[in-house]
């Protein structure tokens, strides 16, 4: 059932800020479908890595390939059209707009650009997709509320829904359970598992147990470098990984 085809490849990615190497010669591969997770102690460079993958920053050196296409120098919107979408750790919605409008604008890219100048009703694909997402993410009852007025859990769901609007092949989720209650975290975990059965999910998370439960592959980072990569059991038992985490706890 597991697909061994590689969808995302990172080769020797590096990025410096000032004198500091936030990401230092990191290489890994993500295979299709399922959940691949990136974990590591604070300051490991996970977020920077994500930013390099999604086009928020440009890498100083190295390569990013999406389905064998070189996307290293592409802007975020170009990456989106290649099928990669990302969500944000700090909820990054259009807070002044309603939930349905957030979803509709996020789905607009499914329409040809000429539709931008035609009345809204002509963008039926986007409208349908938005309604679909409303149902799928249980946001129907708040569809007309401003995104800024939602509860934290609802906002995080909307954040993921917005990211999925264009039906990407690869979904980058940046700490999706950040600040969530236990119950919400469980629900989100179910959601991520379900998503992993349909598309490829690349996840940054702090909740190690959650990650071990969900993922087919785990990548561990520390101090900008890749420490380990493999199936959850392997990684958990890896002495280097244990030192990185326990070392942090003792310190």
Where do contacts with other proteins occur on this chain (CB under 8 A)?
Answer: 54-55, 75-77, 80-81, 85-86, 88, 92-97, 101, 104-106, 108-109, 111, 115-120, 123, 126, 144, 162-163, 165-166
Least distance between other proteins and beta carbon 167 (Å)? 12
Least distance between other proteins and beta carbon 229 (Å)? 27
Helix axes 124-136, 152-164, angle to 10 degrees: 140
Least distance between other proteins and beta carbon 144 (Å)? 7
Distance CA 12, CA 14 (A): 6
Nearer to other proteins, 6 or 58 (CB): 58
Least distance between other proteins and beta carbon 119 (Å)? 5
Least distance between other proteins and beta carbon 228 (Å)? 30
Least distance between other proteins and beta carbon 169 (Å)? 14
Nearer to other proteins, 139 or 235 (CB): 139
* Contact yes or no for 239/228 (Cβ under 8 A): no
Q: Where are the alpha helices (DSSP H) in 24-141?
A: 46-54, 76-82, 99-107, 124-136
Tokens representing 41 are: 């102690």
Largest pairwise CA distance in the chain: 61
Nearer to other proteins, 28 or 50 (CB): 50
Least distance between other proteins and beta carbon 91 (Å)? 10
Nearer to other proteins, 174 or 207 (CB): 174
Nearer to other proteins, 82 or 212 (CB): 82
- The backbone region for 193, taken as left when phi is positive above 0, alpha when psi lies in -120 to 50, beta otherwise, is alpha
Nearer to other proteins, 165 or 208 (CB): 165
Residue in 172, 197, 173, 193 with CA at minimum distance from that of residue 84: 172
What is the DSSP code string of 184-246?
Answer: HHHHHHHHHHHHHHHSEEEEE-S-HHHHHHH-SEEEEEETTEEEEEE-HHHHHH-HHHHHHHH
Nearer to other proteins, 112 or 247 (CB): 112
Distance CA 71, CA 77 (A): 11
* Contact yes or no for 196/33 (Cβ under 8 A): yes
């Amino acid at each position: 059932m597991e697909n061994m085809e590689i969808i995302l490849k990172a080769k020797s990615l590096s990025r410096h800020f000032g004198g500091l190497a936030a990401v230092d010669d990191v290489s890994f591969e993500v295979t299709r479908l399922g959940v691949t997770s990136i974990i590591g102690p604070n300051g490991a460079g996970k977020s920077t890595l994500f930013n390099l993958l999604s086009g928020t920053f440009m890498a100083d050196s190295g390569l990013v390939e999406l389905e064998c296409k070189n996307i290293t120098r592409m802007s975020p919107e170009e990456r989106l059209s290649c099928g990669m979408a990302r969500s944000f750790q700090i909820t990054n919605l259009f807070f002044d707009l309603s939930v349905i409008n957030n979803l509709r604008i996020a789905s607009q890219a499914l329409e040809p650009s000429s539709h931008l100048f035609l009345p809204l009703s002509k963008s039926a694909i986007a409208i349908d997709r938005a309604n679909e997402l409303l149902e799928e993410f249980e946001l129907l009852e708040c569809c007309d509320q401003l995104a800024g007025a939602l509860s934290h859990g609802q906002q995080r769901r909307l954040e993921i829904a917005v990211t999925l609007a264009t039906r990407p092949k690869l979904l980058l989720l940046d700490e999706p359970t950040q600040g969530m209650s236990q119950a919400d975290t469980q629900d989100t975990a179910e959601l991520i598992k379900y998503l992993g059965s349909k598309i490829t999910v690349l996840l940054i998370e702090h909740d190690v147990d959650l990650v071990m439960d969900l993922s087919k592959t785990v990548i561990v980072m520390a101090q900008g470098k890749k420490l380990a990569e493999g199936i959850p059991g392997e990684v958990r038992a890896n002495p280097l990984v244990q030192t990185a985490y326990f070392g942090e706890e003792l310190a």
